[in-house]
Structure 1
Amino acid sequence: MAFGAIIIGDEILSGRRQDKHLVKLIELLAARGLSLAWARYCGDDRAQLTALLRESLAGDDIVFSFGGIGATPDDHTRQSAAAAAGVALVLHPEAEAAIRERFGDETTPLRLRMGEFPAGSRIIPNPYNRIPGFAYGRHHFLPGFPEMAWPMAAWILDTWYADLHDTQARVEASVIVYGAREGDLIPFMEALEAEHGVSIFSLPSLGTVTQPRHIELGAKGEVAAVEAAMALIKAEMTRRGLVWVLAQDTRPAA
């Protein structure tokens, strides 16, 4: 299983609003020793969203979807999720109870529509206004509002996936290497990964007016393994006659 994100909304794709969910989800996962494997953006198009959800529902990944679960004409997530899963869209009894509790005598059919989820869904509590999100399988559908979605995402990770939290500290460190060609370093990087159980990354840069062309070369993994890998990286760069400088201090891995 891997973690994925789907972020929905024409306003994101048009640039009217800047997406904040991706960075926050990465932060929430990293705080629990987890990481994000992929992310997709989709506009408010029911057919495109249905196709995307049909593809992701066919896999085993744990997916967080942000946006489009309201009842306005541009909200298609609930309908698309039901269509992708091949099930009916039904009023969830717990969602109905939460909505009626929230609105009392002002409960309307339109407001109850926000509790219509794919048959077989579980509700996700919303501490902000009590209008729940829903989960279908390993997919979790949250509002587009950060003040609602982020506490809900944290609750999901701590309630349903606590057994996946990685308590082993993981870090990353890197050096800036000048004058290196990335292709020449690939065999060395592959050997480091195989021998030390770390993830090696290489981020080439074309350089700027103030900084020459370079590669940021580093390792991610458990503390001792990263320390050993970085020592070998520094020694190998020196052996090859390449100039290198520390890119940053060792830090928690994303």
Structure 2
Amino acid sequence: MNVGLLIVGDEILSGKRPDKHLPRIIELLGARGMALHWARVVGDEALDIAEAIVWARARGDLLLSCGGIGATPDDQTRQAAARAFDLPVTRHPEAAALIAQQYADVGLDQRLRMADFPQGAGLIPNPVNRVAGFYVDDCHFVPGFPEMAWPMIEWVLDTRYPHLHQSAPPVEYRLQVTGTQGEGDLLPLMEDTLAHFPGIKLSSLPFRGDAERARHIEFGFKGANDEARAAYAYFVEGLRAFDGVQTQVLAPR
């Protein structure tokens, strides 16, 4: 199951606030031997949010969505999720009870709007203020506040998807290559390596060179340790056929 991140908020697109979720979610997934496969940023328009959710559902992905589940008019993620799943919005009794216990009579009517979810949604506990997030199938929705969102996402990963954790996370073997005219020279070798090791991901990052460093290409071979290492060795052996090519081993990661 691929994992995708949806970041919601006009404030991110306008630059009013920098996004903090992407690097942290990558870190949380990596600690569990998992990887982020894609990320999207959308504004506060319900249609845009709904379209992103529908797209993730069609792919069968595990969706983590941050932002837009508050009670103000610009918070449209709850309504968008209901639209994406073709479900009515209803008040969740357990979520409403948690809010009532937390806030008593202080602005309660307005706060209870944050207990309105797509019908049948499950709750994601919020350890900060007990205002729950929610999930429908494999789509999960938490607030935009990092101090709330991140522990809630950890709960999702550890409670709902422990079977996706890997004790041996993927490893990337890396290599810097100089002395070629460009990536095109090595394209046949790249394709040959992938044909022999279809389970790995191969990355090619060219650098045009500057006053400090010569022109080079950085290659990465990522996957299960044994297979990634074998693909790396196969590629290095294939480079012997190219005159003038030099290699520099980079630390795996």
Partner of 2:191: 190
**Structure 1 residue 45: Cα displacement:** 1.5
After TM superposition, the structure 1 stretch with the greater mean CA deviation from structure 2, 102-111 or 31-40, is 102-111
Q: Which sections of structure 2, spanning at least 5 residues, go unmatched? A: none
Partner of 2:66: 66
Residue 207 (structure 2) aligns with: 205
- The match for 2:23 is 23
Aligned mate of 1:219, from 200, 221, 225: 221
Report the number of matched residues: 250
Amino acid in the other structure paired with 1:189: M
Q: 1:51 to 1:199 in 2, by over 3 A?
A: closer
1:54 deviates by 2.8
Tell me the SS of whatever aligns to 2:171. strand
In structure 1, the gaps of 5 or more residues are none
Q: Distance in 2 between matches of 1:97 and 1:14?
A: 36
Post-superposition Cα deviations, 1:226-247, rounded to whole Å, max 9, x if no partner, equal: 333323333333441302212x
Superposed displacement of residue 179, structure 1: 2.9
- Give the equivalent residue in structure 2 for 1:108: 108
Match of 1:230 among 229, 232, 238: 232
The one-letter code sitting in structure 1 at the alignment partner of 2:64 is F
Match of 1:244 among 223, 239, 247: 247
CA–CA separation in structure 2 for the residues paired with 1:90 and 1:37: 32
Aligned-pair identity in percent equals 46
Shift of 1:107: 5.3
Task: Name the CA shift for 1:11/1:169 in 2 (closer, same or farther; >3 Å).
Answer: closer
Check whether the contact 1:102–1:130 (CA below 8 A) recurs between aligned residues: yes
Q: Which residue of 2 aligns with 1:99?
A: 99
**Structure 1 contact 57–85 (Cα < 8 Å) conserved:** no
Asked if structure 2 preserves the Cα contact closer than 8 Å seen for 1:192 and 1:229, the reply is yes
How far apart are the structure 1 equivalents of 2:252 and 2:58? 38
In structure 2, distance between residues paired with 1:78 and 1:4? 18
TM-score (norm 2): 0.92
- Structure 1 runs (4+) deviating above 6 angstroms are none
Equivalence for 2:147? 147
CA RMSD of aligned residues (A): 1.6
Conserved? CA contact 1:34–1:165, under 8 Å: yes
CA shift, 1:223, in A, is: 2.0
- Mapped to 2, the partners of 1:43 and 1:184 lie a distance apart of 42
Deviations 1:83-138 (A, max 9, x none): 22111111101101110111123252110001100111001000111110000111
Q: Using structure 1 for the length normalisation, give the TM-score.
A: 0.92
